[in-house]
């Protein structure tokens, strides 16, 4: 029960009302007991009129019966109504379920139709959108195509403007290049002035001006570099701009014009960038030159370099040519390059660097595999500097090279062309440092060369006793090899045999020596005789003899009066005592000159008793044409007899060299490039000798320096040379100096001086 607004409790909520109806419906169907209970609820009901006069009980019973019937009818009627209502409700429910089912089917059909309609509609919308998009794209393309012509014309105009600015930048770069060249020449003048006047105020002022010019050029180059970068970015932007619109509808002429100007602009920018790089390198180069930086490359900076080497191959080759072709020492080559650096922008390697290059390349050349040549000549000789070590050098000449030069001249009585043997015609096949030069050691070395290079046809030496026996035993062990003697040394031995015991010759030598001592500080000092050499002096007897012969034949009238008395007293009178001997010796010297000239220039030839003459026949014809005194004839016959003995060893029509001047010249070249210190002795600079025999090409330099390392030369030096004479000397002197320092440690200079006194 819920209270209403006035506080009454009669009203019920909907849930209680529904429960009450349900309870009443159930009570109608419960039978008679329920009807009786209900009847008692109405006590004031009137009694029907037919029950009057009866007893109250009967009346009461009658009333009860009537009430029961009446209520029975009501209950029945009520039940019928309820059943009818239930039936109607069931029918309504069934009808509603059918309607709901039918409605759900209709809804499903509607949903299906709706989905189909939606799909069709969406398809139509998509097609419409696609069509609209296509139309938009078409319209956009048409719009771009209509704008392309105008856009491309604008791009071409912009590119033409870029080209104008590029031309201005190129002019600036040209000015920078010219300023760099002018500054380079100014630096050359400055370096020359600094070389001669390092403390001059004018030189210092010029150095300040050069620094200012360097800074100006640097700023100018940086400015042009910024401009080039900006123009390159703008050019790239213009190219990208043309890719944004379609080139359709553009005329071929405009398209070609655009392509041409684009290529031109691109190539101009590339040229500017390369010039800019060259300007930077050029500026850095003259900066390094101005401050004399050692590692600069200068004019050779664009040349190829050897791997792990800072100097270009061109610089290395230039230094080698200074040393090998210009007869410059290592220090001389380095100083010559420094002098060049006063005038040109070139690098200046030190003499130790040049020496290292020569050693490595010579080491590489010497250790290359040797080809075995059947027809060859070995030239063997020793060289000594200081100490007990001697260098044994063996050269090889291919006889075929001599054959290629001996082309006979027609109509010249079989005279052959002059042999031109130089360093490049020989090959260094063996170098060995020996402490002893007995024949056993010589034989071991020759056997080693034989195994490495094959057997030669001839072995040439100077006839020294240390070589002669070893070569003779080697030839006996290997038949087919002949021994040849050098003509110059053989003539020296012949002269030594004939003149050393000659009293007149000894007197002549004393007279020449005395004349030089007397006149070297007089008015006729210009007539001093040449000096006799202490070593191998018989190889050089022709100069004193030629001087004496000339002094005897000089006309007194041609000598100034102030010099005549000295000339007659100190030169002419002493020489007149040996006039006949001097004439004989002069004849002998002339013949010796002819012999050496013939054999050194044309080789030693064995004739065929026909067209080709032997060398001995040519020499015999020389002294038969002119009268020869008996004193000179003995020496001449000995020389000709020696030449004949040499010819017997040759095959008919064969020509070989008859002199070992090539190895003597090589020794002289090597010694001229050796350090100036006479105490150095034999060191690893002997690898200059193989270097003399090759042309220092770029390919050879590159291969040699890349394949040869300093460690290899150090190992060879330690294994073959050990400690050199100079190293021992320096160690000994330093040890003695150290002992003196240790001994005098803690003493004052005065105390040391007192002890010394």
Q: What is the mean pLDDT of residues 328-349?
A: 83
Can you give the pLDDT at residue 360? 92
φ/ψ (deg, to 5) at 614:
-75, 160
pLDDT tens, residue by residue, 117-175: 888 888 888 888 887 787 777 666 666 656 565 666 677 777 777 777 777 777 777 77
Can you give the pLDDT at residue 28? 40
Alpha-carbon distance of 189 to 748, in angstroms, equals 52
Can you give the pLDDT at residue 14? 43
- 434, containing H or E segment: strand 426-434
- 472, containing H or E segment: helix 465-477
Q: pLDDT category, 734, cuts 50, 70, 90?
A: low
Q: Mean pLDDT check: name the lowest of 109-123, 468-482, 621-635, 692-706.
A: 621-635
pLDDT tens, residue by residue, 367-392: 898 888 888 999 998 887 666 778 88
Can you give the pLDDT at residue 411? 38
Q: What is the mean pLDDT of residues 485-508?
A: 84
Q: What is the mean pLDDT of residues 273-277?
A: 77
- Residue 653 C-beta-side C-alpha neighbours within 13 Å: 9
Can you give the pLDDT at residue 364? 93
Q: Mean pLDDT check: name the lowest of 29-38, 484-493, 662-671.
A: 29-38
Please check the confidence at residue 423 and state whether its pLDDT lies above 90: no
Can you give the pLDDT at residue 365? 92
Residue-averaged pLDDT of the chain: 76
- Residue 502 C-beta-side C-alpha neighbours within 13 Å: 19
Q: pLDDT category, 295, cuts 50, 70, 90?
A: low
DSSP annotation of 570: I
Q: Between 387 and 92, whose confidence is greater?
A: 92
Q: Which of 42-46, 224-228, 651-655 has the highest mean pLDDT?
A: 651-655
Residue 460 three-state SS: strand
Are 495 and 660 a contacting pair, CB within 8 Å?
A: no
Please check the confidence at residue 686 and state whether its pLDDT lies above 80: yes
Please check the confidence at residue 279 and state whether its pLDDT lies above 70: yes
Q: What is the largest CA-CA distance in the chain?
A: 230
- Residue 254 C-beta-side C-alpha neighbours within 13 Å: 16
Can you give the pLDDT at residue 273? 77
Structural tokens at position 559: 């000598």
DSSP annotation of 47: P
CB atoms within 10 A of CB 281: 12
Structural tokens at position 323: 């040393």
The Cα-based distances of 607 to 185, 417, 597, 615, 617 in angstroms read 65, 15, 18, 8, 9
Structural tokens at position 32: 């008679």
Q: pLDDT category, 704, cuts 50, 70, 90?
A: very high
Looking at the chain, the whole-number percentage of residues with pLDDT higher than 70 is 75
pLDDT tens, residue by residue, 425-480: 899 998 888 887 788 888 888 999 998 888 899 999 887 777 888 898 999 998 88
Q: What is the mean pLDDT of residues 633-645?
A: 85
Structural tokens at position 436: 């002893």
Q: pLDDT category, 730, cuts 50, 70, 90?
A: low
> Is the sign of the CA dihedral 283, 285, 288, 292 positive or negative?
negative
Please check the confidence at residue 700 and state whether its pLDDT lies above 90: yes
Q: Mean pLDDT check: name the lowest of 34-48, 274-288, 345-359.
A: 34-48
Structural tokens at position 434: 């020996």
- Full 3-state SS string of 273-293: HHHHHHHHHHHHHHHHHHCCC
Q: Mean pLDDT check: name the lowest of 2-16, 420-434, 662-676, 729-743.
A: 2-16
pTM higher than the cut 0.85:
no
């Amino acid at each position: 029960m819920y209270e209403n607004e006035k506080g009454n409790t009669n009203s019920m909520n909907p849930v209680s009302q529904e429960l009450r109806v349900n309870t009443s419906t159930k009570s109608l169907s419960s039978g008679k007991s329920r009807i009786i209970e209900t009847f008692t609820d109405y006590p004031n009901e009137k009694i029907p009129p037919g029950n009057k006069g009866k007893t109250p009980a009967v009346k009461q019973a009658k009333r009860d019966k009537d009430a029961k019937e009446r209520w029975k009818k009501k209950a029945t009627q009520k039940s019928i109504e309820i059943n009818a209502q239930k039936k109607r409700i069931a029918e309504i429910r069934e009808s509603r379920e059918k309607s709901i089912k039918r409605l759900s089917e209709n809804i499903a059909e509607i949903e299906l139709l709706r989905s189909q309609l939606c799909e069709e509609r969406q398809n139509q919308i998509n097609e419409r959108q696609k069509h609209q998009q296509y139309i938009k794209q078409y319209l956009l393309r048409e719009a771009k195509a209509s704008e392309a012509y105008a856009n491309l014309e604008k791009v071409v105009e912009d590119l033409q403007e870029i080209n104008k600015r590029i031309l201005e930048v190129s002019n600036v770069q040209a000015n920078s290049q010219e300023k760099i060249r002018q500054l380079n020449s100014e630096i050359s003048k400055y370096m020359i002035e600094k070389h001669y006047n390092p403390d001059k105020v004018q030189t210092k002022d010029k150095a300040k001006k050069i620094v200012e010019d360097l800074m100006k050029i640097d700023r100018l180059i940086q400015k042009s570099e910024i401009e080039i970068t900006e123009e390159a970015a703008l050019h790239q932007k213009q190219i990208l701009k043309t890719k944004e619109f379609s080139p359709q509808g553009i005329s071929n002429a405009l398209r070609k014009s655009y392509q041409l100007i684009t290529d031109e602009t691109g190539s101009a920018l590339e040229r500017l960038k390369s010039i800019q790089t060259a300007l930077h390198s050029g500026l850095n180069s003259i900066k390094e030159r101005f401050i004399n930086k050692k590692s600069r490359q200068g004019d050779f900076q664009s040349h190829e370099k050897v791997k792990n080497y800072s100097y270009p191959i061109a610089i290395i080759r230039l230094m080698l040519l200074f040393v090998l072709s210009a007869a410059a020492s290592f220090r001389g080559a380095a100083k010559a390059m420094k002098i060049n650096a006063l005038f040109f922008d070139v690098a200046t390697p030190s003499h130790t660097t040049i020496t290292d290059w020569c050693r490595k390349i010579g080491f590489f050349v010497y250790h290359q595999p040797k080809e075995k040549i059947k027809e060859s000549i070995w030239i063997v000789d020793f060289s000594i500097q200081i100490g007990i070590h001697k260098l044994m050098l063996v050269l090889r000449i291919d006889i075929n090279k001599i054959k290629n030069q001996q082309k006979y001249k027609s109509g010249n009585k079989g005279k052959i062309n002059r042999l031109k043997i130089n360093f490049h015609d020989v090959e260094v096949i063996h170098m060995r440092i020996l402490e002893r030069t007995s024949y056993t050691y010589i034989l071991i070395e020759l056997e080693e060369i034989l195994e490495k290079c094959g057997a030669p046809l001839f072995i040439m030496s100077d006839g020294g006793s240390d070589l002669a026996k070893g070569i003779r035993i080697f030839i006996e062990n290997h038949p087919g090899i002949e021994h040849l003697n050098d003509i110059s040394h053989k003539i020296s031995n012949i002269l030594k045999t004939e003149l050393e015991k000659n009293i007149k010759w000894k007197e002549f030598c004393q007279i020449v020596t005395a004349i030089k001592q007397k006149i070297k500080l007089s008015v006729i000092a210009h007539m001093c005789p040449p000096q006799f050499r202490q070593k191998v002096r018989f190889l050089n007897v022709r100069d004193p003899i030629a001087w004496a012969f000339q002094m005897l034949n000089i006309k007194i009238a041609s000598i100034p009066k102030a010099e005549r008395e000295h000339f007659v007293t100190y030169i002419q009178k002493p020489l007149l005592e040996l006039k006949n001997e001097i004439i004989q010796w002069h004849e002998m010297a002339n013949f010796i000159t002819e012999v050496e000239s013939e054999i050194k220039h044309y080789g030693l030839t064995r004739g065929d008793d026909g067209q080709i003459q032997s060398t001995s026949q040519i020499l015999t014809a020389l002294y038969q044409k002119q009268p020869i005194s008996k004193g000179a004839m003995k020496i001449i016959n000995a020389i000709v007899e020696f030449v004949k003995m040499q010819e017997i060893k040759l095959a008919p029509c064969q020509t070989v060299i008859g002199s070992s001047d090539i190895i003597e010249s090589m020794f002289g070249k090597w010694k001229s490039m050796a350090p100036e210190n006479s105490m150095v002795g034999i060191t690893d600079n002997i690898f200059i000798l193989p270097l003399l025999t090759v042309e220092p090409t770029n390919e050879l330099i590159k291969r040699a320096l890349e394949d040869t390392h300093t460690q290899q030369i150090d190992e060879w030096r330690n294994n073959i040379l050990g400690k050199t004479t100079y190293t021992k000397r320096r160690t000994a002197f330093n040890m003695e100096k150290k002992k003196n320092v240790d001994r005098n440690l803690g003493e004052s200079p005065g105390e040391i001086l007192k002890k010394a006194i």
